[in-house]
Structure 1
Amino acid sequence: MTETYREPAIPPPTRRDWIAILSAILGAFMAILDIQIVNASLKDIQGALSATIEEGSWISTSYLVAEIIIIPLAAWLCMVLSPRRFAVIISVVFVIASLLCSLAWDLQSMIIFRVLQGLAGGALIPFAFSLVLTKLPLEVRPKGMALFAITATFAPSIGPTLGGWLTESFGWEYIFYINVLPGALMIAGLMYGLAPQAPRWELLKKGDYAGIVSMAIGLGCLQVFLEEGNRLDWLDSPLMIWLGSLAFVSLGLFIILQLSRDNHLINLRLLGERNFLLGSLANVGLGVGLYGTVFVLPVYLAQIQQYNALQIGEVFMWLGLPQLLLIPLVPVLMRFIDARLICAAGFVLFGSASLYSAQLDLDFAGPQFIAIQIFRSFGQPMILVPLSILATAMIPPSQAGSASSLYNIIRNLGGAIGIAALATILDSRSSRHYEMLREHVSPERPEVIERLQLLTQQLGDPQAALQLLMQQVEQQARIMAFNDAFSLIGVMLLLSTVCVLLTRGLPIQRK
């Protein structure tokens, strides 16, 4: 169980505290933005580096693997180096790695630079989250969480828009150049806002190195397993079997090590706190919703509606921009309405929008998604801020590092598992729907004969008409698979609603 003693109250934040928090949140925003902005330009990068689609997938996978490995290490490294030194180092590395990515001369160099960028970017996310927990008292924390919510919701939403525009207008290199100026502002803000402290090198002697190794191997293998599994046919691939087995054994060992010693890398006992456990479970569904939507929708628009990167970005614009207006209102609502009700309402809005998306047909394109994107833009801010507060309100400041690492790892894993499941659904369900539809496309059926005659008149070739008909059947099967994918996202979000309603109310709302 977590500590039951009372720790010293957190004093009201100063101007320097706010500058440090804003600078760290800017870094987390850029780190998350880099995932989606690169995905939007992946085809152009692959072409420039002479990489195949399979090889090019490692441009994204390498970043995600490095990110998920560094997140649990961030709290410990922060204690060893001191918060100011740690924050400045990772910020400088992130900017330099971004510039190196723009200068990559082949696939191997790009993967190396993306790993470096992922290590720095992944550390920025839990660092920003932990600053909010340690610098802001509970009554002020909703404002900090509202700012942090911009990184988790607005960054993935605006990524395809910004990536598509930069690539179409200037070239793919500019998706990395844009990190330089914000990076310089972030470094200056962190140097001003965080007080210098002496490093604690003695902690290196007490480090949980067995936990670090087992965690790095386990999370790294799991991330690759989830990212590449569908492409390699999951357990039909010997490589996937080895990766899955190694991840299972390593993560099992990591959990045993963390629960059996006091000198742990991450305090897994925090999951014994009711709100943190339920909030983390809801966070899994949120990860599926956030990352799953940003994965499925562009694929649908590109494959079915033949949209280019810029057109896809214009659809996502309706999800991103309204959130900037809505996020600041959420802390105000939390003064008068139970955070659980706000969060549950957000999940219902987001989930309902996803279920409504599961009614796709050939005429369902960008304009039809505008209302859906606006519904999502209302729901996502109502989730992020209250859920973060509900999950961490009972966590003492001394455990902020572990809480931040666990909370962000769980959301990232939820997204990775969700994307893997959705990619598998799109492939497997497409095949199943195609077989089902093909059974009804019998040459003896009057409507099939009529359709073939019409196509033959248009094309002048019976064989071409038959081929086109089967292509149309395949397209309908693909659309049905997209409906299944959106349905899964909606169900996961609605299940998260139940977890939120089972949490305890916030102390500040019991007054």
Structure 2
Amino acid sequence: MASAPPPQTLPVKADLSAWLGVAAGAIGSLMATLDISIVNASLPTIQGEIGASSTEGTWLATAYLVAEIIIIPLTGWLARVFGLRRFLIAAAALFTGFSIVCGLSTSLTMMIIGRVGQGFTGGAMIPTAMTIIATRLPKSQQPIGTAIFGLTVIMGPVMGPLAGGWLTENFSWHYAFFINVPICVMLITFLLVGLPKGQMKLDELVNADWLGVLGMVLGLGGLTVVLEEGHREEWFQSAYILKLSAVTLLGFSLIAAGQLYAKQPVIKLALLRNREFAAVFVLGLILGSVMFGSAYVIPQFLASIADYNAMQAGQIVFLSGIPAMMMMPFFPILVARVDLRVMVGIGMILLALSCYLDVTLTAESRGGEFVVTQLLRGLGTVFCMMFLNQAAISSVSVDDAGDASGLFNAARNLGGSIGLAIIATLQDGRTEFHRWTIHSSLSANGDALQNWVAQQAALYGGGDDGIAIAMRTLDGKVSRDALVMAFNDEFMALTIAIMTVTPLVLLLRPLPKGYHAKAAH
């Protein structure tokens, strides 16, 4: 983690260069979170142009997410070794280069290389944004910086599908990557002006926790791929998944060895022995599951049931970002006057309510059905995100705040991966279950069913061909209803998961009196 200067070195009021540094951190974290999902809307088009199958195309999102999950916990150590300013400038420059690689890709291999590079360099810009706030703003103005950072982290995932869909439909999918170039130029300029030069501590490379670093790559990388690919590969019936699971186990063993033998572990998992921080970590996992899970389920429903295109579905997903934009100005007031346990509890209840209200979807449901629930989900997300971040870094010492922030951010993304894996498995299993349940409830000799089949067959010319078409139509209607019921089951599963962990809010502690919204030091 990057060391913060003594509080007395900070001015009473931040100057322009300090705010430019904060803006740089916000821009970097926005790009990093937005690029997770920006390819989702244009995925079919990209797959066609680079010659990838639908299964291979999912790696465009997976590769980015795997790299980002690996790098986030390592960011504090890397910033300390190379200096925050130098590290972030290098990350932004490399992110630009890898974005260009993605935009110019003509093959799946080239695209995956670009996406992995984007994930590693973009992920480094998420937790460091909080470090900039801590080191460049006085405590009285840190709530404003924290609110700006929270807005970018929440808005990134919901803006991704909308921005990608708009760029693809109005220009080309290539611009979903090329748009990063001018933004990164501005970002690097702000970093040069807004951050002071720092010293490198290359000697830490010699005594680094290399077992932990290698373990992070193998463990977190392997786990993420297992979760992403397990369903498609039929889990442990696949030799591929078994091998990846072995790699994952080896990685976590190396992390454990590093915790025991390294003088300074690359990430302090010992923080999880802190009951309050452990509660924050688990709540972060569920928060990530809801954020990424709902952003996946809703476009899937609208595309398969309501026949929405990517742009239309992206607009519905974007609704959850509106409460975030409206509430951010009030965050400094709320954090000073309201117990964080109350705010997190309200946020969890709102998330549970938003998912529960979506369990009554029908085959006639359209985007309008999600307006209220998306607004509730966005409001719950902003309460949970902002106050859990405060709880994470206030539950540990100042020296451990950087590691706590990294673990919390990693928990959110890892929770997203776990949630998506469970949802994908649940969707297929419950769709098949409901399909056969509906079929078994239909009486082949019932007058109503026979009359319906006869009417449909007559529309298609009668005879055996007409009956065959009528039976396929019936199966299609049954399959559609079964899929809708599976979507309802997914929202119910999210509801149960949220309510199960909500009591952990009681383990959190209120912020100290006079506490200003701190950032990770």
Q: Note if contact 2:339-2:510 (Cα within 8 Å) is conserved in structure 1.
A: yes
In the aligned structure 2, how far is the partner of 1:496 from the partner of 1:187? 41
Q: Note if contact 2:431-2:486 (Cα within 8 Å) is conserved in structure 1.
A: yes
Corresponding residue of 1:478: 483
Question: Does structure 1 residue 505 correspond to structure 2 residue 488?
Answer: no
In the aligned structure 1, how far is the partner of 2:354 from the partner of 2:367? 15
Moved more, 304-313 or 391-400: 391-400
In the aligned structure 2, how far is the partner of 1:347 from the partner of 1:356? 14
Q: Note if contact 2:212-2:257 (Cα within 8 Å) is conserved in structure 1.
A: no
In the aligned structure 2, how far is the partner of 1:138 from the partner of 1:477? 54
In the aligned structure 2, how far is the partner of 1:451 from the partner of 1:75? 66
In the aligned structure 1, how far is the partner of 2:140 from the partner of 2:496? 33
Q: How far apart are 1:34 and its partner, in Å? A: 0.5
Corresponding residue of 1:370: 371
> 2:491 aligns to what SS in structure 1?
helix
In the aligned structure 1, how far is the partner of 2:275 from the partner of 2:411? 16
Q: Note if contact 2:209-2:262 (Cα within 8 Å) is conserved in structure 1.
A: no
In the aligned structure 1, how far is the partner of 2:66 from the partner of 2:359? 31
Q: How far apart are 1:400 and its partner, in Å? A: 3.0
Question: Does structure 1 residue 490 correspond to structure 2 residue 510?
Answer: no
Is the alpha carbon distance of 1:91 and 1:440 closer, same or farther for their aligned partners in structure 2, counting shifts above 3 Å? same
In the aligned structure 2, how far is the partner of 1:72 from the partner of 1:333? 29
In the aligned structure 1, how far is the partner of 2:199 from the partner of 2:334? 41
Kindly report the root-mean-square deviation, in angstroms, between the aligned alpha carbons of the 2 structures.
2.0
The within-5 A match list for 1:215-234 is: 215-234=216-235
In the aligned structure 1, how far is the partner of 2:498 from the partner of 2:152? 19
Corresponding residue of 1:465: 470
Q: Note if contact 1:134-1:400 (Cα within 8 Å) is conserved in structure 2.
A: no
In the aligned structure 2, how far is the partner of 1:144 from the partner of 1:506? 18
In the aligned structure 1, how far is the partner of 2:450 from the partner of 2:330? 59
Counterpart AA for 2:375:
I
Q: How far apart are 1:115 and its partner, in Å? A: 1.2
Question: Does structure 1 residue 109 correspond to structure 2 residue 114?
Answer: no
Counterpart AA for 1:486:
F
Question: Does structure 1 residue 387 correspond to structure 2 residue 388?
Answer: yes
In the aligned structure 1, how far is the partner of 2:200 from the partner of 2:515? 41
In the aligned structure 2, how far is the partner of 1:314 from the partner of 1:384? 22
Moved more, 495-504 or 231-240: 495-504
Counterpart AA for 1:360:
L
Corresponding residue of 1:165: 166
Counterpart AA for 1:464:
I
> 1:335 aligns to what SS in structure 2?
helix
Q: Deviations over 1:135-172 (max 9, x none)?
A: 55666543333222223321111211111111111110
The within-5 A match list for 1:319-468 is: 319-460=320-461, 461-468=466-473
Counterpart AA for 2:487:
F
Q: How far apart are 1:394 and its partner, in Å? A: 3.3
Q: Deviations over 1:383-416 (max 9, x none)?
A: 2111111121133332233122211111111110
Q: Note if contact 1:164-1:313 (Cα within 8 Å) is conserved in structure 2.
A: yes
Q: Deviations over 1:352-383 (max 9, x none)?
A: 11111111101111111112112222222122
Moved more, 319-328 or 8-17: 8-17
Q: Note if contact 1:212-1:265 (Cα within 8 Å) is conserved in structure 2.
A: yes
Counterpart AA for 2:480:
Q
The within-5 A match list for 1:210-289 is: 210-289=211-290
The within-5 A match list for 1:33-182 is: 33-135=34-136, 140-182=141-183
In the aligned structure 2, how far is the partner of 1:61 from the partner of 1:510? 39
Q: How far apart are 1:334 and its partner, in Å? A: 2.5
Is the alpha carbon distance of 1:271 and 1:257 closer, same or farther for their aligned partners in structure 2, counting shifts above 3 Å? same
Query: Which runs of no fewer than 5 residues in structure 2 stay unpaired?
Result: 517-521
In the aligned structure 1, how far is the partner of 2:133 from the partner of 2:422? 33
In the aligned structure 2, how far is the partner of 1:339 from the partner of 1:113? 40
Counterpart AA for 1:296:
V
Q: Note if contact 2:47-2:53 (Cα within 8 Å) is conserved in structure 1.
A: yes
Q: How far apart are 1:496 and its partner, in Å? A: 3.8
Counterpart AA for 2:499:
L
Moved more, 323-332 or 220-229: 323-332
In the aligned structure 2, how far is the partner of 1:254 from the partner of 1:144? 33
Moved more, 444-453 or 234-243: 444-453
In the aligned structure 2, how far is the partner of 1:470 from the partner of 1:237? 31
In the aligned structure 2, how far is the partner of 1:499 from the partner of 1:142? 25
Q: Note if contact 1:149-1:385 (Cα within 8 Å) is conserved in structure 2.
A: yes
Q: Note if contact 1:138-1:393 (Cα within 8 Å) is conserved in structure 2.
A: no
Q: How far apart are 1:134 and its partner, in Å? A: 4.9
In the aligned structure 2, how far is the partner of 1:339 from the partner of 1:22? 26
Is the alpha carbon distance of 1:348 and 1:469 closer, same or farther for their aligned partners in structure 2, counting shifts above 3 Å? same
Counterpart AA for 1:485:
E
TM-score, normalization by structure 1 = 0.94
Identity of aligned residues (%): 35
Is the alpha carbon distance of 1:489 and 1:390 closer, same or farther for their aligned partners in structure 2, counting shifts above 3 Å? same
Counterpart AA for 2:322:
L
Q: Deviations over 1:185-238 (max 9, x none)?
A: 211111112111221111111111111112211111111111111111111111
Is the alpha carbon distance of 1:363 and 1:470 closer, same or farther for their aligned partners in structure 2, counting shifts above 3 Å? same
TM-score, normalization by structure 2 = 0.92
Is the alpha carbon distance of 1:190 and 1:495 closer, same or farther for their aligned partners in structure 2, counting shifts above 3 Å? farther
Counterpart AA for 1:210:
L
Counterpart AA for 2:357:
Y
In the aligned structure 2, how far is the partner of 1:21 from the partner of 1:494? 35
Corresponding residue of 1:3: none
Corresponding residue of 2:14: 14
In the aligned structure 2, how far is the partner of 1:13 from the partner of 1:51? 53
In the aligned structure 1, how far is the partner of 2:63 from the partner of 2:360? 35
Q: Note if contact 1:130-1:400 (Cα within 8 Å) is conserved in structure 2.
A: no
Q: Note if contact 1:146-1:328 (Cα within 8 Å) is conserved in structure 2.
A: yes
Moved more, 31-40 or 261-270: 261-270
